[in-house]
Amino acid sequence: MEQLAAHGHEIRLEVGSEVVPSEAAEWPVIVGQRVDKHAALPAWRRFRARSKLVYETDDDVFNVERVNWQAYGVYSRGDVQDAVAHAAEVANLVTVTCEPLAEVMRKYNPNVAVLPNFVPAWACDLPRPPRERPVVGWCGGASHGRDMGEIAGPLRRFLGRHPEWNAVLMGTDYRPTIRHERCGFREWADIRTDTEGFYRGIDWDVGLAPLYPGSVFNRSKSYIKALEYAARGIPVIASDAEPYRGFVLHGVTGFLVKYDHEWLKYLEELTDPVLRADMGEKAREHARGYTIEGNWHLWEAAYSAL
């Protein structure tokens, strides 16, 4: 939205349900990010009388798994799923971050556009100060409970073999899953209010991006975690899963894990500081092709088509 404004479009950002139908009539396009409450639907329907509506979502809320207990407690409810479905049906356009999620949302609206995730260009130029002790890192929300099980054992073995290394989790505290005294945790900065602080917080030496295989929910994930690492010059070890195959260049910007033993294998390989630096720099250059500044026109085209 900031880039659209920078290129001559008039933008107004509101949080929550502060926009009322009488005030919204002047806006030709209204974008609702994951509208999921029945209380919002009357206003959402009235917006449609004078504006084009865009329903935006980046997760498959219809297939949240029970193991992701926090999200499951919200999105497994029939009333919430019904609200999401109806809000998408009412919209003129649905926008999503990847094609598998587009397939899900086409059940509710045939007009779906894929607008991939990107990062701000300046994130690729933030310095990452060297550490006294190298760190393996992960960041993510509360929908990764099963995914963390993929790396818990290999990460524990790696830390046991390499007392000079630490690990850190940022966002959601999965230390009870990792179970190692040298695995730390810190809160992440709110990307909406402290975008630079969020990216500066991604400051480790090797990034992990596990996704549990065979998960319907995970099919609709995007490559954003690997992209954020890459923008910071961090090589990634990621599951060889649909979201990452199209972004991670195996053996160049990171590694894709097909078999369980490869988590430890690739962690061992990246103890080589020369290899880490080389892959990290190639990852950063790769990320420069995935910036908001270079791709804002995709949003302009999608909205203008309405």
pLDDT tens across 172-206, in order? 999 999 999 999 999 988 877 899 999 999 999 99
Q: Give the model's pLDDT for residue 16.
A: 64
Flag the least confident range among 13-17, 70-74, 82-86, 226-230.
Answer: 13-17
User: Which DSSP state fits 173?
Assistant: -
pTM of the model: 0.93
Q: How far from 208 is each of 20, 113, 127, 129, 226, CA to CA, in Å? A: 43, 29, 20, 19, 8
Q: Give the model's pLDDT for residue 213.
A: 87
> 19 falls in which pLDDT band (50, 70, 90)?
low
Mean model confidence pLDDT for the chain? 94
d(CA 217, CA 100) in angstroms, rounded, equals: 10
Predicted confidence (pLDDT) at residue 211 exceeds the cutoff of 90: yes
d(CA 271, CA 134) in angstroms, rounded, equals: 9
Predicted confidence (pLDDT) at residue 306 exceeds the cutoff of 90: yes
Predicted confidence (pLDDT) at residue 29 exceeds the cutoff of 90: yes
Q: How far from 58 is each of 11, 97, 104, 202, CA to CA, in Å? A: 21, 6, 11, 21
Q: Give the model's pLDDT for residue 185.
A: 97
Predicted confidence (pLDDT) at residue 21 exceeds the cutoff of 80: no
CB 145, CB 68: distance < 8 Å = yes
* One-letter identity of residue 84: V
